[in-house]
């Protein structure tokens, strides 16, 4: 994440981003499940009938349409490009029950940490959110650095210690685990853990494979506070899960520069949960566009139905409907939704003689049948435009963090692509050194 080449200052960049986000906020500021409810697709001001969105390798930026030409000319100015990830001879030779994606993440983050620790001659690596300890054990086995793994989940903490005793007895003196929930003021606690577990500590590096929500900011603040913390290599994710109160996020914006620009801004830019969710969502390049359209519109139809009847939709599980096996069949989608995916709940309490609400299958089928071909095309364009917006929005969020680091005297900082994005889309690591 960096300052795009067309800008000379952070203030100018943040201001131009806010202008763009305000003009096109209908592409992100509504939850995707409500795009039909709020007629979001009608705001995409182009003649979709003449666009073959289902052709091979559709490129919206190459289409001669005034709406798209204007959007992409503005978007181009805000784009940033990272050096390509270089695949090397790192092998997935860790004998653990993990997916190729997870092994790839662990191996290449460990490689990056080893290079960083070599640069600063550190003694210890502190892993925030250490989970079951896979990264920690690999770091010790391949680098011989001491590792302190900090985990808040009891089951993961206990599991890491069990795995260590069973498979990694040789690391017992050098890899230590503690159960602790990391917060921005955890530096004193971490200092105690380090003093208790390791003697004669000189320098250490902070890391974290999936620094969800506010954890990256907490890690940065701890990095500031701890004199012996000389470097940090952490991979942020799930920006939309950051602590929010009355529409304001605790840690976004975080830099004084963006806070000041935003406070002076006279427009109406909603940097809300949908904004951060899109920023955190890598472009879905491997999925078929038809599948994405079906998933988007079928769920949106349920939302319209619930709103029409003054109901709320409650998910019965994390992924209410398993769409991969239904070949975009809406009848099957409805059946799956009714049987186990969703529950309708009334917006006002029912009286004793009222029955619990149920779906009317025929109404749902009729709503689906009435979706026009233009709506399907605009849904495709909506998805593709979000894919184009995502890296710009993510850069906006992460560049705010780089500015925050520099405002606090840490000038040697950057976001670096350390993973193959086709294997692991969350491929960016914040790397920073104290001078």
Cα 431 to Cα 232: distance, rounded to the nearest angstrom: 6
Model pLDDT, residue 89? 67
Which residue ranges in the chain fall short of pLDDT 50? none
Model pLDDT, residue 285? 57
Model pLDDT, residue 40? 97
Model pTM above 0.85: yes
Give 2-5 contacts, CB < 8 A, sequence gap 24+.
Answer: 2/80, 2/395, 2/399, 2/402, 2/414, 2/415, 3/399, 4/77, 4/78, 4/79, 4/80, 4/395
Three-state DSSP class for 128?
strand
Task: Find where tokens 């005793």 sit.
Answer: 165
Cα 142 to Cα 72: distance, rounded to the nearest angstrom: 46
Alpha helices for 168-314 (secondary structure H): 187-197, 215-225, 256-264, 273-279, 289-308
Model pLDDT, residue 274? 92
The first and second tokens of residue 409, run together, are 């005297």
Model pLDDT, residue 282? 80
Three-state DSSP class for 413?
strand
User: Are β-strands 412-417 and 428-433 bridged in parallel, bridged antiparallel, or unpaired?
Assistant: antiparallel
Model pLDDT, residue 346? 87
Cα 217 to Cα 213: distance, rounded to the nearest angstrom: 9
Model pLDDT, residue 88? 75
According to DSSP, residue 340 is labeled: I
């Amino acid at each position: 994440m960096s300052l795009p080449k067309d800008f000379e200052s952070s203030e100018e960049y943040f201001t131009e981003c806010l202008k763009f986000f305000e003009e096109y906020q209908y592409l992100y500021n509504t939850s995707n499940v409500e795009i039909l409810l709020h007629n979001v697709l009608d705001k995409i001001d182009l003649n979709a009938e003449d666009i073959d969105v289902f052709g091979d390798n559709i490129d919206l930026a190459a289409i001669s349409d005034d709406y798209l030409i204007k959007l992409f000319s503005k978007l181009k100015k805000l784009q940033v490009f990272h050096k390509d990830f270089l695949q090397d001879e790192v092998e997935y030779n860790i004998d653990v029950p993990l997916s190729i994606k997870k092994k790839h993440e662990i191996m290449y983050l460990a490689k990056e940490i080893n290079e960083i620790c070599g640069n600063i001659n550190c003694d210890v690596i502190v892993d925030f959110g250490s989970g079951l300890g896979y990264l920690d054990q690999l770091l010790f086995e391949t680098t011989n650095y001491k590792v302190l793994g900090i985990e808040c989940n009891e089951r993961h903490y206990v599991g890491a210690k069990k795995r260590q005793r069973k498979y990694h007895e040789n690391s017992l003196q050098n890899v230590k685990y503690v159960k602790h929930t990391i917060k921005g003021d955890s530096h004193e606690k971490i200092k105690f853990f380090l003093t208790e577990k390791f003697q004669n500590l000189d320098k250490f590096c902070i890391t974290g494979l999936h620094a969800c929500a506010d954890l990256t900011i907490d890690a940065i603040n701890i990095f500031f506070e701890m004199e012996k913390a000389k470097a940090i290599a952490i991979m942020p994710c799930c920006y939309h899960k950051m602590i929010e109160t009355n529409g304001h996020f605790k840690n976004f914006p975080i830099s004084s520069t963006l806070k000041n620009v935003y406070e002076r801004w006279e427009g109406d830019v909603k940097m809300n949960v949908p904004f951060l969710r899109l920023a955190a969502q890598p472009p879905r390049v491997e999925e078929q566009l038809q599948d994405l359209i079906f998933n988007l519109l079928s769920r949106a139809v349920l939302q319209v139905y619930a709103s029409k009847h003054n109901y709320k939709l409650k998910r019965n599980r994390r992924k209410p409907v398993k769409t991969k096996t239904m070949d975009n069949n809406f009848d099957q989608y409805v059946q799956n939704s009714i049987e186990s995916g969703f529950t309708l709940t009334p917006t006002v309490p029912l009286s004793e003689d009222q029955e619990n609400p149920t779906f009317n299958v025929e109404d749902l089928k009729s709503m689906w049948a009435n979706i026009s071909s233009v709506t399907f095309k605009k849904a495709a364009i909506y998805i593709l435009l979000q894919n184009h917006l995502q890296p710009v929005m993510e850069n906006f969020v992460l560049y705010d963090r780089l500015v925050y680091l520099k405002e606090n005297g840490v000038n040697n900082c950057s976001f670096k692509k350390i993973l193959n994005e086709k294997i692991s889309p969350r491929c960016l690591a914040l790397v920073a050194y104290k001078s």
